[in-house]
A and B are shown apart, each in its own frame.
Chain A
Amino acid sequence: MVNLANPTAFVELSRRVLPWLAAATTALFVVGLWLSFAAPPDYQQGETVKIMYLHVPAAWMATFVYAVMTASALGTLVWRHPLADVAQKAAAPLGAGFTFICLATGSLWGKPMWGTYWVWDARLTSVLVLFIIYLGLIALWRAIDDPGRAAKAVAILTLVGAVDLPIIKFSVDWWNTLHQPASVFRLGGPTIAPSLLIPLVVMALAFTCLFLTLHLMAIRNEILRRRIARVTMLAAVEGDRLAPGLAAGGA
């Protein structure tokens, strides 16, 4: 059993897993894009429905990444797992990226379908709030020098921001929105035709694998960053030990 709390063991495991994950991501994107372009047009939206194959997986990832960050925040505050804050810090820019794709593609889908790029609808606004929360968390990490204090502050803010997740999910049910209600994850099963659903599922798997690949790489980077800080500090301590010796030798 690999001890994932040990950064060295984690780096070694990720080194072995990453090539496979990267290959799976590439293969899923190739198949997903091919299926998306081969899929029939929607009877109402025509070919514009092709934007769905990017917009919907990006929207799912935007909330999934935040859920991962919420679990990591609990790991930092409750279980004090040594890699929890590392995982959280590494995930934030990726979550912001997926949320940006969701907002931008949604806007480009909204113009031809709704006649407007943006509307202050509950679903759109709650996703915009999620994007702002991601940016706020990234800024907070950078604003506090002490990594321990930064991790605690970010973890608390992440838990507060998690309130936005159910709001995003149920906004289309709680309020009258221009955005359509859920059509895949619903109690009665998906309402999308299989010819459109299959490419969507493959693209969602591709986005998930992309996140897992980039997240593992970003966690490794963060471990490296902390190693550099430790080695630099040790070098400074050794330098300080050397300096008095040199001063005594010179006297």
Chain B
Amino acid sequence: MADPHLGFIVAAYAVAALTIGAMVGWVVLDGRRLNAELARATRALDGARRGAKGARR
């Protein structure tokens, strides 16, 4: 492909790849962070419930 506008074609594909990569990265990393946070929050809730039961006894 010896086109005089090759730079524009490469730049367009690079911009699209970077943007799609950012969108995928945002969704995947956000999901991992939220799963870890939910596990932490669930542990905290379980701990609070066990503590409440213990205090009642």
Q: Please give the residue numbers on chain A whose beta carbons come within 8 Å of chain B beta carbons, in ascending order.
A: 41, 46-48, 50-51, 54-55, 58, 93-94, 97, 100-101, 104-105, 108-109, 111-112, 210, 214, 217-218, 220-221, 224-225, 227-228, 231-232, 234-235, 238-239, 241-242, 245-246, 249
Question: B16: which A residues are within 8 A, CB to CB?
Answer: 54, 58, 101, 104-105
Q: Is the CB of A108 within 8 A of B45?
A: no
Q: List the B residue with the shortest CB-CB distance to A217.
A: B27
Binding site for A on B (CB under 8 A): 1, 3-6, 8-9, 11-13, 15-16, 19-20, 22-24, 26-28, 30-31, 34-35, 37-38, 41-42, 44-45, 47-49, 51-52, 55-56
Say whether B28 contacts A217, CB under 8 Å: yes
Interface residue SS majority, chain B = helix
- 14 other contacts beyond A218-B30, A224-B35, with CB at 8 A cut-off? A48-B8, A51-B8, A58-B16, A104-B19, A108-B12, A108-B15, A109-B12, A217-B27, A221-B30, A224-B31, A235-B44, A238-B48, A238-B52, A241-B52
Shortest beta-carbon contacts, A-B, top 5: A238-B48, A47-B3, A245-B55, A112-B5, A235-B45
CB <8 Å contact, A246 and B55: yes
Q: Is the CB of B45 within 8 A of A234?
A: yes
Partner of A242, one of B8, B9, B15, B51: B51
